[in-house]
A and B are shown apart, each in its own frame.
Chain A
Amino acid sequence: MAVIETKDLSYTYPGASRPSISGVSITVEKGEFVLITGPSGCGKTTLCRCFNGLIPHFYQGELQGEITVANMDVTKHQTHEMAKHVGLVFQNPENQLFALSIEKDVAFGLENLGLGREEMRKRVDWALNLTDIYNLRERSPHEVSGGQQQRVAIASVLAMQPEIIVLDEPTSFLDPISAEKIFDVIYELNKRLGVTVVLVEHRLDLTAKYAGHIVIMDEGKVCFDGDPRKILGAEETRLIGVGIPKATLLYQLLKKEGVNLSSITPLSSRELAEYLEGVLQTHDRS
């Protein structure tokens, strides 16, 4: 069942001379982990904003084509309605947190929805535990690290219990270890809770292995859409300027030299190492 479906979607920001996205037609199934990537300016951020209604309601501008998210026509539902079904986590951790204590921030969306105090308390505690920040709940957002702030942002979106969570480059400002932790949290949400995840990222080395579906964009259009292994293994992808995982690159380089390790493209160092081990050990006679 498709939770996100776009048909020929195009959008031009007010006052812009060209559309930021054009002719985008993609489908996201329930429970999928989708990775959207592409060079800077390719339109991935714009596309994210379409999923929860910020486009067209907040940004105005010209939206053409069809877009249905969680069975709702986005153009016909206000952002606050969409918020119950689609959560959006942004790039900058600091600018998503407004309250003076973390648990009040996590409750923000629920307070906006007018939930009763008991229900709010339950959901806030649940979200804090899922993102492993329960012990930080009384601290101020300014006191905690960037990685912890992003977890607060995820928790505050999670508390509204949406079917879909969209994350727009959530680890841009984080160090590699914090980034990995965030991706683990997101992956857990997808696996255990069945939340559909749409992740916009450049760091394919850390994220490609989680995704079952990849969309690569360039200059506002979708260039590739489908199985990550097939797409990232293809030569054309590298030429767009997407930073494919090094393991995949090495696999491709070896293939060009006639070394065919496997028909399945590796997306992580571990997978490639397993292939290499297999091949080298059969040759290793000493």
Chain B
Amino acid sequence: MSVFDGLKFRRVSSPIHNLDPRIKFVYVIVIFIAAILFGEILPLIALFLLQIPFVLLARVQRQWLRSLRGATFLAMFIFIVNIATKFFTAGYILSATDIEFSAAMTLRFVVLVESFSVFFLTTSPDHLGLALEQTHVPYEFSFAFTTAVRFVPVLAEEAQTIMDAQKARGLELEKGNFLKRIRNYVPVLIPLIVSAIRRSLELAEAMESRAWGATKKRTNLYALKLHRGDLALLALTVCILVSSIYVRFYFVVPTLVQLF
């Protein structure tokens, strides 16, 4: 699942990794807004190219390219649908403008996926959890988030063990027609769910034993502080937002076709 590869966090130290996740998130939202604001290809190309220095600085090129590859299928699909719609609605003719438009729509999709990809590639789950805690999201939610992330690898290993255990009893997961194959997974799902429930009970016991719920005002060992880099990114973000809105409402953006 190469698309998901592009979303997994990588433990590398880089200036981008160390940026405050809240600022990074705001940046991504602004890119999102800018991408939606423009249907023309030129600004979208600009937005796409804007990601590249971040990717290089964060040294996550390989994973980022992998997620690009994963998005290609959907991107192609979007392109073809757009082309087809233009073709059929315009009376079976296809102009250069139409092609450019379809390319723009495709590129918009790619920009959206890629900016989120960079975000998740450069933000560790604990950093994210911390950001959630500090933005006054109720602690239950950020706790649920970090605990879930903490146990994903544990559950994945357990799923593998359960599959092995049932295969060792003669269960053949790949046998039979489609329906039979789904039923084959019951002996894997039930132990997994039961185990997850047992685990939750044990976790709850441990939480209670460590004074969960003692006070409403929970404190935090860490604190996210804004540094120069964060402020720089914030400034850049504001610039992008302002200029996008300005260009959108006061200029007519030329198409490539018009330029050449």
B246 on interface, CB distance cutoff 8 Å: no
Which among B199, B206, B215 is the interface contact of A113 at CB below 8 angstroms? Answer: B215
B174 on interface, CB distance cutoff 8 Å: no
Residues 204 to 245 of chain B near chain A (Cβ within 8 Å): 204-215, 217-223
Give CA–CA (A124, B146) in the complex, Å.
20
Give CA–CA (A42, B126) in the complex, Å.
41
A58 touches B208 (CB 8 A): yes
A103 touches B214 (CB 8 A): no
Give CA–CA (A84, B210) in the complex, Å.
8
A109 touches B222 (CB 8 A): no
Give CA–CA (A80, B210) in the complex, Å.
7
Give CA–CA (A57, B204) in the complex, Å.
12
- Which residue, B129, B149, B210, has most C-beta atoms of chain A within 10 A? B210
A116 on interface, CB distance cutoff 8 Å: yes
A114 touches B218 (CB 8 A): yes
Chain B residues with CB under 8 A of A84: 211
A268 on interface, CB distance cutoff 8 Å: no
Chain A residues with CB under 8 A of B76: none
Give CA–CA (A90, B210) in the complex, Å.
12
B170 on interface, CB distance cutoff 8 Å: no
B202 on interface, CB distance cutoff 8 Å: yes
Chain A residues with CB under 8 A of B126: 99-101, 104
Q: How far is the CB of B221 from chain A (nearest CB, A)?
A: 4
B154 on interface, CB distance cutoff 8 Å: yes
Residues 137 to 183 of chain A near chain B (Cβ within 8 Å): 140-142, 153, 156-157, 160
Chain A residues with CB under 8 A of B209: 52, 54, 79, 83, 87-88, 157
Give CA–CA (A80, B221) in the complex, Å.
19
Give CA–CA (A98, B218) in the complex, Å.
16
B219 touches A142 (CB 8 A): no
A92 touches B202 (CB 8 A): yes
A121 on interface, CB distance cutoff 8 Å: yes
Chain B residues with CB under 8 A of A104: 126, 221-222
Residues 232 to 271 of chain A near chain B (Cβ within 8 Å): none
Chain B residues with CB under 8 A of A160: 210-211
Which among B125, B153, B206, B218 is the interface contact of A90 at CB below 8 angstroms? Answer: B206
A96 touches B202 (CB 8 A): yes
B4 on interface, CB distance cutoff 8 Å: no
Give CA–CA (A157, B205) in the complex, Å.
13
Which among A114, A124, A140 is the interface contact of B214 at CB below 8 angstroms? Answer: A114
B219 touches A116 (CB 8 A): yes
A99 touches B146 (CB 8 A): yes
B33 on interface, CB distance cutoff 8 Å: no
A142 touches B211 (CB 8 A): no
B203 touches A98 (CB 8 A): yes
Q: Encode contact with B along A110-136: 1 for CB under 8 Å, 0 otherwise.
A: 111111110011001000000000000
B208 touches A98 (CB 8 A): no
B147 on interface, CB distance cutoff 8 Å: yes
A95 touches B208 (CB 8 A): no
A156 touches B146 (CB 8 A): no
A211 on interface, CB distance cutoff 8 Å: no
A141 touches B150 (CB 8 A): yes
B residues in contact (CB < 8 Å) with A: 124-126, 129, 143, 146-147, 149-150, 153-154, 199, 202-215, 217-223
Q: List 20 A-B contacts (CB under 8 A).
A: A54-B205, A54-B208, A79-B211, A80-B212, A94-B154, A95-B199, A96-B203, A97-B150, A98-B143, A98-B146, A98-B147, A100-B149, A101-B126, A111-B221, A112-B211, A112-B212, A113-B211, A117-B221, A117-B223, A121-B221
A residues in contact (CB < 8 Å) with B: 49, 52, 54, 57-58, 78-81, 83-84, 87-88, 90, 92, 94-101, 103-104, 107-117, 120-121, 124, 140-142, 153, 156-157, 160
3 smallest beta-carbon distances between A and B, as pairs: A109-B210, A100-B126, A83-B211
